[in-house]
Chains A and B, each alone.
Chain A
Amino acid sequence: MTGLLRSELLKLRTTRRTAGLALGMVALVCLVVILHGMLFPARLANHDDEMKVFGWGAMGTLFAALLGALSITSELRHGTIRPTFLVTPDRRRVLAAKALAATMVGVAFGVVAEALTLALGALVLSSRGIPIRLDGGDVIQLVLGGALGAAAWAALGVGIGAVLRNQVFTVAGICAWLLFIESLFVGDLPGAGRYLPGAAAAAIGGGSTITGEVPAHPALLAPALGVVVLLLYAAGSTAAGIVSTERLDVS
């Protein structure tokens, strides 16, 4: 299994996709945090308001999900899945190794996004003379929650990619889901919406969704429950990916 995991990690770092996604994430985080930090109304600077600046690290989940999804759809698209399955005919192990590798890189994505957001946000707000109201506990929750959310979403991405298979549909679907569809549910049907995977990630990562919204407190799950829900999604999605791939005729 370690050889297989190392193989998947090598695949992730030997194309420009991973670096491209990381760069895209960094650029977007910089843009959004600086923009929101500059436009932030100074007189509203209470703790919850500041989360509208510091919550943008949640964007790591989107890029981690895309990373996980591309790790399987690119193999299906370019046909490298054939040599991959020839060397490892047990497809469950291939999918598990992909999910694990994506999770590991996903953690890095989450930590980078959160750390960058915190550093940039603090820089911009303090340069405007606005006091930072986040305490150490908030910072720990943002970084840990962001890392866990991105890790789970990376595995989720592998499962989604393995089920949908088509690269364009998968990427478009993940973006539409996280950036648009979930906000509708969380906003209009919070009772059910808070059990969705993006809202669960928001619940453990400091309460901010990926689109920068901070839903009122009861609209999200308690962080501990959020962790359980998110892990169930990651496991369920990987299992669905395995079932879908095991029956696949690779032609």
Chain B
Amino acid sequence: MTEVIEAEREVVTVRSLSKRYRDVTAVEDLSFSLSAGTVTGFLGPNGAGKTTTLRLLVGLAAPSAGEALVFGRPYCELERPACTVGAVLESGDFDPGRSGRDHLRALALAAGLPSGRVEEVLDTVGLTQAARRRVGSYSLGMRQRLSLAGALLGEPRLLVLDEPANGLDPEGMHWLRTSLAAFARDGGTVLISSHVLSEIAQTVDRVIIINRGRIVASGPIDQLTAQRPRRRRQRPLRRLTLEDVYLDLTTSTAL
């Protein structure tokens, strides 16, 4: 019984997750969990397996081993996935010939959501003015906002965002940060991947750092930066930054 309650409180549960593509191992034996109301940064260099992990989490790819659960279930078994998880996995996932509003209307219809939600999320992300235009004419920042609008349509309790900061101007970045903070304050949970370390440090409560498909560190930022570096490259008297920790853990040691 206690185990069930525990599992329900865990918004994301990843256990021994692995993904192999022929002879390439993208993700190897990954385990972590997220609890409600937290904002977690998912960090790692290009090719570390961040995107693969997020895709496994939302059922776009099948794991080779292990499991990834959302609210205790595989994503594909959620009853109303759009009302449970909002995910942005690529900022360019639009048909350039379709308007922003029609893109959202198609998603809302498939999710069984009222069309009023489309106008609400357009307003939330500040795209009401541009909603009639074809997405092909949107800037990168506008596409990011439209992606986020799609993720917010069903008023989900978990947001999974892959590099949402790409292409956002400082104002957009500020808006994203305050939106995520408000979302988490209301009990929502966020998993956000990024390589923009300074932005992550300001936005998230804790980080998971992966390299070559494996977790190399995880925990609150304070805890990670308080640790001693593995290699003695850093000056000893300075307090470590997230960047120091990140580089220490992800830079190749095989010299």
Contacts and interface: CB of A to CB of B under 8 A. Distances in A.
B7 to A, nearest CB: 20
Nearest to A74: B95
Interface string A99-133: 00000000000000000000000000000000000
Give chain A's interface residue range (CB within 8 Å of chain B): 20 to 34
B168 interface: no
A166 interface: no
28 contacts: A3-B111, A4-B109, A6-B109, A10-B106, A10-B109, A14-B106, A15-B95, A15-B97, A16-B97, A78-B95, A78-B96, A79-B93, A80-B93, A80-B103, A82-B60, A83-B107, A83-B150, A84-B107, A85-B59, A86-B58, A86-B81, A87-B107, A87-B111, A88-B81, A249-B61, A251-B52, A251-B55, A251-B60
B20 to A, nearest CB: 11
A11 interface: yes
Query: Which of A10, A84, A87, A89 is the most central at the interface, judged by chain B CB atoms within 10 Å of its CB?
Result: A87
Contact of B93 (A11, A17, A83): A83
A14 B87 contact: no
Interface in B91-120: 92-99, 102-103, 105-107, 109-112
Contacts of B90: 79, 82
Interface in A62-96: 74-75, 78-80, 82-90
Contacts of B112: 3
A85 B110 CA distance: 10
A90 B75 CA distance: 10
A249 B60 contact: yes
B209 interface: no
A88 B59 contact: no
Interface of A: 3-4, 6-7, 10-11, 14-17, 74-75, 78-80, 82-90, 247, 249-251
A80 B58 contact: no
Given A86-B85, A89-B76, 19 more contacts: A3-B110, A4-B109, A4-B110, A6-B109, A7-B107, A10-B102, A16-B97, A74-B95, A75-B95, A79-B90, A83-B93, A83-B107, A85-B60, A86-B60, A86-B82, A88-B111, A247-B62, A249-B21, A249-B62
Classify the secondary structure of A's interface with B: helix
Contacts, number: 89
A90 B76 contact: yes
Q: Which 6 A-B pairs have the closest CB atoms?
A: A7-B109, A249-B61, A7-B110, A79-B93, A14-B102, A15-B97
Contact of B81 (A3, A75, A87, A249): A87
A7 to B, nearest CB: 4
B78 interface: yes
A86 B93 CA distance: 12
Contacts of A250: 55, 60-61
Contacts of A85: 59-60
A84 B87 CA distance: 11
Given A15-B98, A86-B81, A250-B55, A78 B93 contact: yes
A6 B52 CA distance: 31
A16 B106 CA distance: 16
A90 B60 CA distance: 11
Given A14-B98, A15-B98, A79 B109 contact: no
Nearest to A247: B62
Nearest to B154: A87
A80 B97 contact: no
Nearest to B59: A89
A79 B102 contact: no
Of the listed residues B85, B90, B93, the one surrounded by the most CB atoms of chain A closer than 10 A to its CB is B93
Interface in B178-217: none
B95 A84 contact: no
Given A10-B105, A251-B61, A79 B110 contact: no
B110 to A, nearest CB: 4
B89 interface: yes
B137 to A, nearest CB: 14
Contacts of B93: 78-80, 82-83
Contact of B95 (A80, A87, A89): A80
Contacts of B107: 7, 83-84, 87
